[in-house]
Amino acid sequence: MIVRELLMGPKRYTDLREGLPGLATDLLATRLRELQDAGVIDRREVPRPTPATVYELTERGLALKAAILELSHWGRPLLQESSGEHLPDSALLLGLKVAFRPQAAGDRRETYDLEVEGLRVAIRVHDGRVDIAPGSAGDDASATIITDRQGFIELALGQAGERVHVEGDSDALARLQEMFSLA
């Protein structure tokens, strides 16, 4: 779970605690030390203006990405049984990566902003691939799709109900659902 969280980029200890609810702080600290000793993560200081200590994956840790994505793929059917309220932000991002269907994307080049309960994600589809990153795509986005966690699950299951709001190209939602489907 720690590796899953760090796949989204460097995080402070407090960010990791937020993303891993229910994990005791002493156990998190122990696991971070063990992962650091194993060469999976590094701990470094970020300079001013906002000094902090962050944890990030090493090359060895990044090599686990394929395994984490496979586990996410395996867990996809569980989304149908979930209300989404306990899904951490990192699981949403990995869920998008796993749900991407390159054959449906073809040679389409399109960018979307997806906002799920304040978490904004830039989705860039190009050359049969997808890049997903935290933050906004800015002016490049064809549409901004705003929803809550349950709406995200409904969207992924092909059901865009009243929980989903689209700003911009109204047809973008249908294209997005075609390329990203958990149904």
Q: What is the pLDDT of residue 60?
A: 96
Categorize the per-residue pLDDT at 74 as very low, low, confident or very high, splitting at 50, 70 and 90: confident
Structural domains in the chain, sorted by start? 2-62 (1.10.10.10), 84-179 (3.30.1050.10)
pLDDT (tens digit, 9 = 90+) per residue, 6-63?
988 899 999 899 888 888 999 999 999 999 999 999 999 988 787 889 999 999 999 9
pLDDT (tens digit, 9 = 90+) per residue, 82-99?
555 566 777 777 778 888
Categorize the per-residue pLDDT at 110 as very low, low, confident or very high, splitting at 50, 70 and 90: very high
Six-digit token string for 183:
């149904």
Nearest CA to 122 among 93, 88, 164, 157?
Answer: 93
Q: Please compute Rg for the chain using Cα positions.
A: 17
pTM score > 0.85 for this model?
A: no
Nearest CA to 96 among 65, 56, 127, 69?
Answer: 69
